[in-house]
Amino acid sequence: GESVGLHLPTLSVQEGDNSIINCAYSNSASDYFIWYKQESGKGPQFIIDIRSNMDKRQGQRVTVLLNKTVKHLSLQIAATQPGDSAVYFCAVLDQTGANNLFFGTGTRLTVIP
């Protein structure tokens, strides 16, 4: 199986600074990873994904880094804005069994104006 953990339950950053949210996973066979954003009262919203044949992928103001050696991935948000305040969590696909996604518990990002 798979277990997923995030390093910090909360993170506060100044508006305009960069944010880094971390996630660790346990199964070295995992090969697909997703970051989600969840705002209060809403469902998780897909941000960006990465496959294990890559170590970096960029989107609009977001970058995901994957380090398969230490089983760690991170989400970097550039020039953080108040609208980025939310809970962020990673999901890892466990392809050794039933192809289920395993989710971390999330990091609550607060952007200070």
Partner 1 sequence: DAGITQSPRHKVTETGTPVTLRCHQTENHRYMYWYRQDPGHGLRLIHYSYGVKDTDKGEVSDGYSVSRSKTEDFLLTLESATSSQTSVYFCAISESRVNNQPQHFGDGTRLSIL
The contact set with partner 1 (CB under 8 A) reads 4, 31-32, 34, 36, 41-46, 49, 51, 89, 91, 93, 95, 98-106
- Whichever of 66 and 104 has its CB closer to partner 1, that residue is 104
CA atoms in the 13 A half-sphere facing the CB of 93 = 10
- Whichever of 29 and 112 has its CB closer to partner 1, that residue is 29
- Whichever of 9 and 82 has its CB closer to partner 1, that residue is 9
Provide, rounded to whole angstroms, the least separation between the CB of residue 47 and partner 1.
9
Provide, rounded to whole angstroms, the least separation between the CB of residue 35 and partner 1.
10
How far apart CA 76 and CA 69 sit, in angstroms, is: 19
User: By the 8 A CB rule, do 103 and 87 touch?
Assistant: no
> Which positions ≥6 away from 41 have C-beta within 8 Å?
none
DSSP 3-state percent helix, strand, coil across the chain (nearest 5): 5, 55, 40
Provide, rounded to whole angstroms, the least separation between the CB of residue 110 and partner 1.
18
